[in-house]
A and B are shown apart, each in its own frame.
Chain A
Amino acid sequence: MAIIRDLHDDTYLAVDNSFKAIRGSVRPPDIGSGGGYYRRSLASGTLATLTNGSMFYAFRNPVAATVIIQNISVGFRAIAGNTTISFIVSLYATRSYTATETAGVATAPTLKGGMMTQTRATQLNSFLRISNTGPISGGTGTNDSQPLASLIFNHPGAISNVGLSSQTFFPQLSGTSTKPGGGLGGIGTHVFPLVLAQNEGFRIYTDTTPNIGTNTVVAYVDVDWCEASSF
């Protein structure tokens, strides 16, 4: 028989009466010293030239830290247009990243903010980049042959200024799955997160064309991640 006591403040672990279960208080992933928890929401400019295979978002881990991707969601605003179209947005794993993309708007490692707790590292290491008015390019990483995940959106055509609700690539990790147990999803519960080593990342593409005719959109991409010494 053992009674478990906290060495730090003399608190005793409780066992619940009904199910005789020990109480657990679930904590975020351990990131070691020097890591941090981050969240960034980026908006593109007004995009008018996205076609089949246009990259509009890129994320790269350029340092030795392990990056754990906890959620990625994408939404759009249909600004103007004339053609109703259904289009696919896909997430690709990128490996052997030797040069970061050049076009678009970057969130550079020197830019602070987006950290979810003040007590951790105050400067993120990862590169994030979103399109300005057209596709981004210039990176040298190699994508997988198939996407890790895909989403489907509708541009409503002539109806302008319509929101295309955000969807997540990782519904189980973000707890938005519609099937039983989905709400209990979370990093490490029973599914594996996307784990990025140095010079790995991901890119988001339109896999079919949203900018038919005069259709324009603004893209919104939210990413939750942490940078850890190991995982």
Chain B
Amino acid sequence: MAQIQSGASADVMTVDPSFKAARVTIRPPEVTGAYRIALRTGTIAAATAAGIMGAFRYTGTGVAVITSVRVGLNVLSGYTQGSIIFSAWITRSYTATETTNYTAATLTGNNAKLRTSHATTSAVCGAATTAGCSGGTGTDDSLAIGSATFNLPATIVGQPVQDLWTSSIQTYPLVLGQNEGFRIRNDTAFAATGTANVVMMIEWFEATAY
């Protein structure tokens, strides 16, 4: 017979009388830091070809665990009616971050931290300016890990944010080692005439191991 007592206090675990279930409180993973960021491209021109709208690279020596990637379209002017697909692609052997048509996010100091006491992130990320960005040297996988489709409307109708990819307690997250990352790509071209900002959200934590 045993009772479970806290090692830090005299508290003893309760077992609920009806279902004979132990009371538990679920805690976040052990992290060096937890982060979120929303990125926004510049005004993406009409008919912009398939390319990279956002990029994320982990440069630390531990791991970056990606728990969600989301994307939406802030439509600025109407398109020749069409549709578009965005996808997230794992990038390996990332030796140089994107440079062309690319605006890097400011991730120094406390930026993007979900708790100020956490360490400054070891990730770098950014968004395209007015066309797909380039200049990064990582190699994308052959297949995407998540995608979302959007309408490109003839009149201004914003396309709310959708999940490109999320993890849960029952699925394995995307775990990035040093110089690994992912890219958010429009896999099809934007339709003619219209313009939009691509809004991207990334949620991750960093840890010494996972």
Total CB contacts across the A-B interface at under 8 A: 214
Contact B168 A188 (CB under 8 A): no
Query: What chain A residues lie within 8 Å of B167 (beta carbons)?
Result: 181, 190
* B67 close to A (CB within 8 Å): yes
Contact A188 B156 (CB under 8 A): no
Q: Write the residues of chain B forming the contact surface with A, with a CB cutoff of 8 angstroms.
A: 1-4, 12-17, 19-29, 31, 34, 36-40, 67-68, 70, 72-76, 105-106, 110-117, 146, 155-163, 165-171, 173, 197, 199, 201, 203, 205
One of A36-44, A106-114, A122-130, A193-201 contacting the partner: A193-201
Interface size on A, residues (CB 8 A): 66
Give residues 142-165 of A contacting B (CB, 8 Å): 144-154
Query: What chain A residues lie within 8 Å of B117 (beta carbons)?
Result: 197
* A20 close to B (CB within 8 Å): no
Q: 3 smallest A-B Cβ distances: which pairs? A: A181-B168, A86-B158, A192-B34
Contact B169 A25 (CB under 8 A): no
Q: Among the listed A8, A171, A188, which residue makes an inter-chain contact with B12, where contact means beta carbons less than 8 Å apart? A: A8
Q: Write the residues of chain A forming the contact surface with B, with a CB cutoff of 8 angstroms.
A: 2-9, 11-14, 22-30, 84-88, 90-91, 93, 95, 144-154, 167, 171-172, 177-182, 184-195, 197, 200, 207-208
Contact A86 B201 (CB under 8 A): no
For the complex, what is the distance from the CA of A182 to the CA of B70, rounded to whole Å?
A: 13
Shortest CB-to-CB span from A164 to chain B, Å, is: 10
Contact A190 B168 (CB under 8 A): yes
Shortest CB-to-CB span from B49 to chain A, Å, is: 23
For the complex, what is the distance from the CA of A181 to the CA of B21, rounded to whole Å?
A: 23
Mind listing 11 A-B residue pairs with CB under 8 Å? Answer: A4-B15, A27-B23, A144-B113, A145-B106, A148-B112, A148-B114, A149-B38, A153-B158, A171-B166, A182-B163, A194-B114
Query: What chain A residues lie within 8 Å of B155 (beta carbons)?
Result: 84
Shortest CB-to-CB span from A120 to chain B, Å, is: 15
Q: A12-B15, A172-B68, A195-B115 are in contact. Are A188 and B26 (CB under 8 A)?
A: yes
For the complex, what is the distance from the CA of A100 to the CA of B40, rounded to whole Å?
A: 28
For the complex, what is the distance from the CA of A194 to the CA of B116, rounded to whole Å?
A: 10
Contact A167 B37 (CB under 8 A): no
Query: What chain B residues lie within 8 Å of A189 (beta carbons)?
Result: 26, 28, 168-169
Shortest CB-to-CB span from A169 to chain B, Å, is: 9
Q: A9-B17, A177-B163 are in contact. Are A90 and B23 (CB under 8 A)?
A: no
For the complex, what is the distance from the CA of A146 to the CA of B2, rounded to whole Å?
A: 51
